[in-house]
Amino acid sequence: MHAAVITGYDAPPVYGEQPEPMAQGEHEIVVDVLAAGLHHLSRAKADGTHYSAAGVFPLVPGVDGVVRDPSGRLRYAVLDDTNLGTFAERTVIDTRRSVVLPDDVDPVRIAAAMNPGMSSWVALRRRITFREGQRVLILGATGSAGRMAIQIARRFGAAQVFAAGRDTTRLMELPGLGADQALTFDEVAAAADVDVVLDFVWGAPAAGAMLPMLTARADRSAPLTWVQIGSMAGESAPIPSSALRAARLQIVGSGIGSVSPRDFIAELPELVKAVTEDAIGVQARAVPLARVARAWSERTSERLVFVP
């Protein structure tokens, strides 16, 4: 079969022949891959910058995808730590980490949406106690995950959603997705009285936004939960100690490890339903897997999805 293969953290993926996968565990099956998204997580695990990177090579990247099982059913599957990912014609999945999909779904759309959508969905459902009527600020709202987070926060009953990002052109699109106000990072103090921050950027932008927000709050004793989800602007953020004392701030993380695999899987069916009903929009573009080397470093507002 054909697959994308990476031989080291500093090596680009190469499309070529790979041995056929073999199921070994009790719940494992070999499946045909129909569509697999090129997510930030896939890149980060492959280049060693994600904390869950295993460093085992050769590696076929790809952390999830839409597959067809031996009985002909479509499934969305999430892979455990493995060196045989979904950027291949076939792979091995654990059926317990998958959900059966309707026959008429668009595999590319599902593959594009699930990983970025799950980041905010799980954060609001499993990592914190989010209540209808609360107000939300999204840092990094112009990316795929941030755009979906606006729609997901609205779906869960957010009273107000503020969307912050760098790209002023993309920011103009966000009110159409449900944002009450689009802000640059320098303007986030306007969202000072939110209850929850969903942070996809971290790094200096998050640290720079935190203290102005906290000191501008009308009631500093009102709880503010800052959920750290992504680190597109840096793995470390120089947060001043005064930020932790100036207001009732709680910082939590949401991701692999802080949320159990069981909790992730439990949320999949409802997210699939929201995506298939077009309640959550996604920008997706199918790319032949044979073009993986060219697409690997492409930066685009669309979520690239490999199709064998």
* Residues 276-308: tens digit of each pLDDT: 988 898 889 999 999 999 999 888 878 999 999
CATH number at residue 233: 3.40.50.720
HSE-CB of 41 using CA atoms within 13 angstroms: 26
Whole domain around residue 154: which residue ranges?
A: 116-253
Q: Which is nearest to 35 in space by CA: 62, 13, 67? A: 67
Q: Span 36-44, mean pLDDT?
A: 92
123 and 225: one domain? yes
**Would you say residue 194 has pLDDT above 80?**
yes
The answer to whether residue 271 sits within a structural domain is no
Q: How far is CA 117 from CA 121, 143, 203, 280, in A?
A: 6, 11, 22, 9
Portion of the chain with pLDDT greater than 90, in percent = 81
pLDDT category, 109, cuts 50, 70, 90?
A: very high
155 and 57: one domain? no
121 and 218: one domain? yes
Predicted pLDDT of residue 214 = 94
126 and 238: one domain? yes
Predicted pLDDT of residue 48 = 80
124 and 247: one domain? yes
Q: Is the peptide bond between 12 and the residue preceding it cis, with omega within 30 degrees of 0? A: no
pLDDT category, 207, cuts 50, 70, 90?
A: very high
Q: Span 147-171, mean pLDDT?
A: 96
1-15, 106-120, 130-144: least confidently modelled range: 1-15
CATH number at residue 96: 3.90.180.10
85 and 159: one domain? no
The answer to whether residue 264 sits within a structural domain is no
Alpha-carbon torsion 219, 220, 222, 228, what sign? positive
**Would you say residue 79 has pLDDT above 80?**
yes
The answer to whether residue 57 sits within a structural domain is yes
172 and 139: one domain? yes
The total number of structural domains that make up the chain: 2
The answer to whether residue 273 sits within a structural domain is no
Distance separating alpha carbons of residues 47 and 63, to the nearest angstrom: 14
Q: What is the mean pLDDT of the chain?
A: 94
Three-state DSSP at 266 gives: helix
130 and 248: one domain? yes
Read off the tokens for 8.
């080291």
* Contact indicator for 36, 79 with CB cutoff of 8 Å: no
The answer to whether residue 186 sits within a structural domain is yes
The answer to whether residue 267 sits within a structural domain is no
The contacts of residue 281 (CB under 8 Å, 6+ apart) are: 147, 148, 151, 177
**Would you say residue 107 has pLDDT above 90?**
yes
Predicted pLDDT of residue 220 = 94
* Contact indicator for 119, 41 with CB cutoff of 8 Å: no
* Contact indicator for 108, 307 with CB cutoff of 8 Å: yes
Read off the tokens for 178.
């449900």
Q: Span 37-45, mean pLDDT?
A: 90
Distance separating alpha carbons of residues 274 and 124, to the nearest angstrom: 15
Q: Which is nearest to 77 in space by CA: 115, 125, 20? A: 115
Q: Which is nearest to 163 in space by CA: 185, 141, 145? A: 141
Q: Span 249-269, mean pLDDT?
A: 93
Q: Which is nearest to 94 in space by CA: 24, 164, 157? A: 24
Predicted pLDDT of residue 77 = 97
190 and 293: one domain? no
Predicted pLDDT of residue 50 = 73
H-only helix segments in 123-260: 144-155, 168-171, 203-215, 241-245
Is residue 229 packed enough to be buried (19+ CB in 10 Å), middle (13-18) or exposed (0-12)? Answer: buried
The angle formed by the CA atoms of residues 124, 232 and 119, to the nearest 5 degrees, is: 20
The residue from 253, 268, 291 where one domain ends is 253
* Contact indicator for 188, 137 with CB cutoff of 8 Å: yes
The answer to whether residue 213 sits within a structural domain is yes
- Which DSSP letter does residue 148 get? H
The answer to whether residue 149 sits within a structural domain is yes
**Would you say residue 116 has pLDDT above 80?**
yes
Read off the tokens for 240.
């001043």
pLDDT category, 49, cuts 50, 70, 90?
A: confident
Read off the tokens for 122.
């799980």
**Would you say residue 44 has pLDDT above 90?**
no
81 and 171: one domain? no
Q: Span 222-244, mean pLDDT?
A: 92
